[in-house]
A = this chain, B = another copy of it.
Amino acid sequence: MPNYTQDRLSAIDAALLLIDHQAGIMQLVHDYGPAEFRSNVLALAKVGLAFGLPTILSSSYETGPNGPIIPELLALFPDAPVIRRPGQISAWDNSDFVDAVKATGRRKLIMAGVTTDVCLAFPAMQAAAEGYQVYGVIDASGAHDFATQSMAVQRLVAHGVTPVTWLMVAAELQRDWREPTAEATARVFHEHLLNYGMLIDGHAASQGGAA
């Protein structure tokens, strides 16, 4: 049985892998509303930035129907490697991608891929098979419908991958609001965990200040 205390994520042992968040493929995502899903993806990306996680992007067949990586996401990572796969469906079948992961030296991989059942599930299960500790960020991956999400989550769990949301990742990395990343994390919450963001705005106003 896994031991959470030993396994917990921290900024020094994790990398972030963002796979196939492309304008075409994202049309397939129907288990989250379009604005919810977009917000989840950007939130996860900003969490990666807030904690300085080594980050790798990947895409497939961008010049075809799959479309380009959505510009809002790409703009957040001007210096990250972008592995454009010539044909492999699973990013883990692409040696450049795996090499880039290895180059990070991290053994805990926070992965999101569109869609959950394929572009997240395949490389996540492969990485787990190679001994990585893998976190699949389900609400930043997206599936055809909830039934598909649910099946994919069960398959991932059976292969040792931990299903999480972007918020679980953020909170697990932050761990204590007295840590120096607190301001950056709070900014992500303000922008993407909107019910919490409104609490921040309301509280700031009640204190006579701006949020």
Distance in angstroms between the alpha carbons of A55 and B198 in the assembled complex: 23
Interface residues of A (CB under 8 A from B): 1-6, 23-28, 30-36, 38-40, 60-68, 70-71, 86-90, 93, 117-118, 121-122, 125-126, 128-130, 138-139, 144-155, 157-160, 162-165, 167-168, 171-172, 174-179, 182, 192-196, 198-203, 205-207, 210-211
Distance in angstroms between the alpha carbons of A130 and B1 in the assembled complex: 12
- Majority SS at the chain A contact face: helix
Asked whether, in the complex, the Cβ of A154 is within 8 Å of the Cβ of B157, the reply is yes
Q: Quick one: which of B172, B193, B198 contacts A23, CB cutoff 8 A?
A: B198
Chain B residues contacting A66 (CB-CB under 8 Å) are: 199
Asked whether, in the complex, the Cβ of A198 is within 8 Å of the Cβ of B27, the reply is yes
